[in-house]
Amino acid sequence: MKLKPYSLGALLLILLAPATVSSVPAFASAVVVSPVPERHSADVIGRFLAGFYGEHGPTLHDRETRISPVLKDKQTANPDADVLLCAQNEPRDIVIGPVTVAQSAGVGWATVTTHWDAGLTDTFTAYVRLDSQPIRVDDVICAG
């Protein structure tokens, strides 16, 4: 049987004819995966950093799973210091400052203030890539 060019369209309509209106939601509810990953907002990054650092520093699990390979290498190269806290001890308290997001650079950051005995404080900057999936600390730059 030889089909005319317009016959293919008619054939397609016939094949789709059994689809009823009740089956349309099944088509409409299909998940569309975006080729561009979601970018983290300042609010999401702030909540992540607050949870990551907690009151006294990241947990062992967070240190293993929620940091970039760059930070893992940096920690390996500096075994006598805690590169995530820019310190050698556990602070009394940690405060996360406001988050800045640079969409064009693809990164967000916040100043992290650590509080120590005798009223001393120190600061460093924690960076998060906006497209990291899952979200993780990408780098830490110590102030001093």
- Confidence (pLDDT) at 24: 46
- Range 20-28 contact pairs with CB under 8 angstroms and sequence separation of 24 or more: none
pLDDT at residue number 35: 58
Tokens of 58: 């990241």
Residue ranges per structural domain of the chain: 42-142
The number of angstroms, rounded, from the C-alpha of 97 to the middle of its chain's C-alpha atoms is: 18
pLDDT at 62: 97
Give me the chain's average pLDDT, please.
84
Rounded percentage of the chain residues whose pLDDT exceeds 70 = 74
DSSP element (H, E) containing 115? strand 107-115
pLDDT at 25 over 60: no
Q: In angstroms, rounded to a whole number, what is the distance separating the alpha carbons of residues 59 and 61? A: 5
Query: What pLDDT, on a 0 to 100 scale, did the predictor assign at position 71?
Result: 96
**CATH class of the 42-142 domain in this structure:** alpha beta
Is the sign of the CA dihedral 5, 6, 9, 13 positive or negative? negative
Using one digit for the tens of pLDDT, what is the confidence trace for 112-128? 999 999 999 999 999 99
